[in-house]
Chain A
Amino acid sequence: MTSIGTGYDLSASTYSPDGRIFQVEYANKAVENSGTAIGLRVKDGIVLAVEKIIHSKLLVPEANRRIQNLDKHLGMATSGFQADGRSLANRGRDEATSYRDYYRQPSPVKEVVNRLSMYVQAYTLYSSVRPFGVSAIIGGVDKTGPRLFIVEPSGVAYGYHGAAVGKGRQLAKTEIEKLKLSELSTREAVAEAARIIYLVHDDAKEKEFELEMSWIGDETNGLHVPVPEGLLAEAERKAKEALETFE
């Protein structure tokens, strides 16, 4: 059934006769049109990578970051509307801080993900709001080890070994499936993540892009931080090399 002109897509509080909520599906479309974001959960940590499309040469390099910190041990990469991603990250920071204030310890990744997913879900219930136009990959290291989740516009959240959202997610997923994630170190995963982002970027259609990467694990003392410049440059060089042999 088409959603156009039927009147069932005018608000997130209305089901269509076959049980869908079109506003949520449109939100997913917003994500599908955005630059790819991936997350890898490996042996000793998490690597997040984003293909940030540069829509103007006048932009300051590294502006409008799409990977953000929720806490010292929690990172979030978003795909979709940048402003919605910012807003969601703000909420994530509040939840992580609130957990720390209540329990005097860093939050489990799952706890913040659960709270955020309930928050996102609430935006699918009312006619006065629109659902979040982002899928968020949330990764971190807690007592139980590295953990990786995706929160979707509908409010569902699943845990993953490897995550991909955005325009190039299909190709990215097949590439991630080829990796032996449980045997990789974060350092190796940085190179793989860079390679995958370069691979899924469609330079025939798209303008230039900037590779944005962060990691967390034993190498970073459990802090979610941007991948150091030297390592990032090295990973990009290898990614470009791999791209030439791939084609």
Chain B
Amino acid sequence: MDHFPTNWGRPRNDAHDAFNTYPLHQRPAPHTDTFAEGVQRTQQPIVTGTSVLAIKYKDGIMMTADTLASYGSLARFKSIQRLHAVGESTVIGASGDMSDFQYLQGLLDGLVTDEFTAGDGDALGPAEVHEYLARVLYARRSKMNPLWNSLLVGGVKDGESFLAYVDLLGTTYTASTLATGYGAYIALPLLRQAVEGREATLGADEARRILTESMRVLFYRDARSLNKFQIATVTAAGVDISEPIVLDTAWGFAEGIRGYGGQTQ
């Protein structure tokens, strides 16, 4: 039963409210076709993570990402893990849309479970995981419905360390130091200077120090970053993702900055 008299049929005279329906409530708009404006696809990421950094070192690879998931410029979720272990020898780190990353986590966990239940002793290594992600991301961009992420994939299998990049277009490349997002502009040159040519001799402590310093620089310069981050280490022994590390930072110098903003002198 429709209880709104205006829907029963309009009064004969609009000027005279014979049925005492004032205030006239909004008549329902004519039905609009759900697809009138075409099927809507992801056109921008919503809840996002910023840079991921990774380097090769003596025993394997090391990767780091902060624990922030931003909603636009709002620091919305401050303890989100953006590093994810895939099986026993691979870790992935994600920047970009966090819901798309969670979808990928589910996809990869299913893959790892299938591989386990097969019970044939084989397991997916980092190269396979990277290739799979590249195929998935490229297929989705080809449907004009991309998964909005830049991902780093790293790991160690059969004594070989592996480190590669893949993004929402399905673009892939590999190097001994990699960074996504803002980190590719700010941190990558620092990483290259510190790591390139020394991959085989770089110790774990030194590698950790290089990444920590890069994260510090990023926190000072990247407005979507946080001073809380995790470091994932993959060696022949397996994957280890650290507890969140909090950086001490100093902002005293900000007092002396002149040239923009609301200074009075």
Would you give the 0/1 interface string for A85-113, flagging 1 where the beta carbon is closer than 8 Å to chain B?
Answer: 00000000100010011001000000000
Would you give the 0/1 interface string for B106-136, flagging 1 where the beta carbon is closer than 8 Å to chain A?
Answer: 1000100110111100000000000000000
Q: Which residues of A contact B (CB under 8 A)?
A: 65, 68-72, 93, 97, 100-101, 104, 223, 226
Which of B110, B117, B119 is packed against the most chain A CB atoms within 10 Å? B117
Look across to chain B and name the residue whose beta carbon is closest to the beta carbon of A74: B117
Would you mind naming 25 contact pairs between A and B with Cβ atoms under 8 Å apart?
Answer: A65-B119, A68-B117, A68-B119, A69-B116, A69-B117, A69-B118, A69-B119, A70-B117, A71-B113, A71-B117, A72-B113, A72-B116, A72-B117, A93-B114, A93-B117, A97-B110, A97-B113, A97-B114, A100-B110, A100-B113, A101-B106, A101-B110, A104-B106, A223-B116, A226-B119
Q: Which residues of B contact A (CB under 8 A)?
A: 106, 110, 113-114, 116-119
Sample of 15 further A-B pairs with CB below 8 A, known A68-B119, A100-B110: A65-B119, A69-B116, A69-B117, A69-B118, A69-B119, A70-B117, A71-B113, A71-B117, A72-B113, A72-B117, A97-B110, A97-B113, A97-B114, A101-B110, A104-B106
- Alpha-carbon gap, A72 to B117, bound state (A): 7
Residues of B contacting A65 in the complex (Cβ-Cβ under 8 angstroms): 119
Look across to chain B and name the residue whose beta carbon is closest to the beta carbon of A92: B117
Which of B110, B114, B116, B118 is packed against the most chain A CB atoms within 10 Å? B116
- B52 smallest CB distance to A (angstroms): 24
- Alpha-carbon gap, A226 to B121, bound state (A): 10
- A89 smallest CB distance to B (angstroms): 9
- A78 smallest CB distance to B (angstroms): 14
- Alpha-carbon gap, A68 to B106, bound state (A): 23
Look across to chain B and name the residue whose beta carbon is closest to the beta carbon of A93: B117
- B109 smallest CB distance to A (angstroms): 8
Residues of B contacting A104 in the complex (Cβ-Cβ under 8 angstroms): 106
Look across to chain B and name the residue whose beta carbon is closest to the beta carbon of A90: B117
- Alpha-carbon gap, A68 to B119, bound state (A): 7
- Alpha-carbon gap, A93 to B118, bound state (A): 10
Closest 7 CB pairs of A and B: A69-B117, A69-B119, A93-B117, A72-B116, A72-B113, A71-B117, A68-B119
- Alpha-carbon gap, A64 to B228, bound state (A): 51
Residues of B contacting A97 in the complex (Cβ-Cβ under 8 angstroms): 110, 113-114
- Alpha-carbon gap, A65 to B117, bound state (A): 13
- Alpha-carbon gap, A71 to B113, bound state (A): 7
- Alpha-carbon gap, A70 to B116, bound state (A): 9
